[in-house]
């Protein structure tokens, strides 16, 4: 290959990379140049949290414990139906909030769900459908496979708008289709510990058992649609109960990852009422 041809190939690669790399940080391109108001500035990574991790844990555990009781209720109802062949489908929840949205309303005081966004051409959005979301509440979780900064994600990221980049370079692939879906299912099955699942794969379906696991469908705010939620990184503590990890919608890509499981939650910036769509903003480090 001649020097001229080599230079041409390098230049083409550089041009493609400049376009490609912004898959991971599209808000930098869009917001810094046009929508500065949509960014939330923090002075250092440790100061990105609006609420302490302990508060995030408390709210997640509160919901997950209700989900676990509901799950047990479903198993009992299914067993009774098997024995009697007379229980209707509507009775399978028993007296407990067997459905995820009911569990959310009971434990957190609100429900969220996916619906067509009010933003033109935005596709799916996430709305508060019941109750009131108080300021500081954990409103949703960003599901997906967690990649450390040094791990490969090239194939999974192609034409994938659901790759979230954390402050420290950790990536979360929240795509529920294609190769991303297969990777998550494979990693989730790998991490199982005896009877206990370490993650929740139901977010890959239309009916996630953890109703918080729809954060990848929260649309970015604009100057005309101010943010009412923001992203906050959350590392799952070692003391998180093993029986409740089955509701975590995240899994590490590598088995030998030494750091805690990274999750990203969305936290309410203000009180959010039923009927409102969730709009997020992103943090940027300022020095």
Q: In sequence order, what DSSP letters do the residues of the chain get, joined into one string?
A: --HHHHHHHHHHHHHHHHHHGGGT-HHHHHHHHT-GGGEEEESSGGG--SS-HHHHHHHHHHHHHHHHHHHHHHHHHHHHHHHHS---GGGTTTTS--SHHHHHHHHHSEEEEEEE-SSTT--EEEEEEEEEE-TT-EEEEE-EEEE-TTS--HHHHTT-TTEEE-TTS-EEE---SHHHHHHHHHHHHHT-BTTB-SS--GGGSSS-SSTTTTGGGPEEP-SSS--SEEEEEEEPPTTS-GGGGGG--EEESSTT--SPPEEEEEEESS-EETTPBPEEEEEEE--
Look up the pTM and report it.
Answer: 0.78
Q: Flag whether 29 is in a domain.
A: no
pLDDT band for position 121 (50/70/90)?
confident
CATH at residue 246: 2.170.270.10
Q: Flag whether 224 is in a domain.
A: yes
Query: Rounded to whole angstroms, how far apart are CA atoms 205 and 263?
Result: 19
- Domain interval for residue 57: 41-77+95-286
Query: Is 78:64 a contact under the CB 8 Å cutoff?
Result: no
Query: Rounded to whole angstroms, how far apart are CA atoms 180 and 145?
Result: 8
Q: Flag whether 25 is in a domain.
A: no
Residue 45 has pLDDT above 70, yes or no: no
Query: Is 74:95 a contact under the CB 8 Å cutoff?
Result: no
pLDDT of residue 125: 96
Q: Flag whether 257 is in a domain.
A: yes
Q: Flag whether 32 is in a domain.
A: no
Q: How many domains does the chain have?
A: 1
Q: Flag whether 16 is in a domain.
A: no
Q: Flag whether 216 is in a domain.
A: yes
Rounded percentage of the chain residues whose pLDDT exceeds 70: 71
Residue 88 has pLDDT above 50, yes or no: no
| pLDDT tens readout for residues 213-240 | 999 999 998 888 899 999 999 999 999 9
Residue 205 has pLDDT above 50, yes or no: yes
Give every CB contact of residue 33 below 8 A, 6+ residues apart in sequence: none
Place of tokens 């990221």: 157
pLDDT band for position 279 (50/70/90)?
very high
Q: Flag whether 83 is in a domain.
A: no
């Amino acid at each position: 290959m001649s020097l001229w041809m080599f230079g041409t190939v390098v230049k083409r690669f550089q041009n493609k990379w400049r376009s490609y790399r912004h898959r991971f940080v599209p808000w930098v391109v869009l917001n810094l140049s046009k929508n500065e108001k949509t960014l939330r500035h923090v002075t250092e990574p440790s100061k990105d949290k609006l609420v302490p991790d302990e508060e995030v844990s408390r709210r997640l555990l509160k919901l997950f414990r209700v989900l676990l009781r509901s799950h047990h209720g479903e198993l009992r109802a299914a067993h009774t139906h098997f024995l009697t062949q007379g229980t209707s489908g509507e009775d399978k929840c028993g007296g407990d909030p067997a459905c995820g949205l009911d569990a959310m309303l009971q434990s957190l005081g609100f429900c969220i769900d996916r619906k067509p966004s009010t933003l033109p051409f935005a596709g799916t959005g996430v709305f508060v459908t019941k109750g009131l979301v108080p300021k500081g509440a954990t409103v949703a979780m960003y599901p997906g496979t967690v990649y450390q900064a040094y791990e490969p994600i090239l194939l999974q990221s192609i034409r994938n708008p659901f790759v979230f980049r954390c402050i420290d370079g950790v990536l979360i692939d929240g795509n529920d289709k294609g190769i991303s879906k297969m990777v998550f299912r494979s990693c989730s099955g790998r991490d199982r510990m005896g009877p206990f699942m370490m993650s929740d794969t139901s977010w890959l379906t239309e009916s996630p058992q953890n109703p918080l696991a729809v954060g990848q469908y929260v649309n970015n705010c604009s100057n005309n649609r101010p943010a009412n939620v923001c992203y906050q990184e959350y590392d799952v503590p070692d003391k998180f109960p093993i029986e409740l990890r089955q509701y975590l919608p995240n899994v590490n890509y590598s088995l030998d990852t030494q750091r805690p499981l990274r999750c990203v939650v969305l936290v309410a910036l203000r009180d959010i009422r039923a009927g409102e769509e969730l709009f997020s903003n992103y943090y940027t480090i300022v020095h």
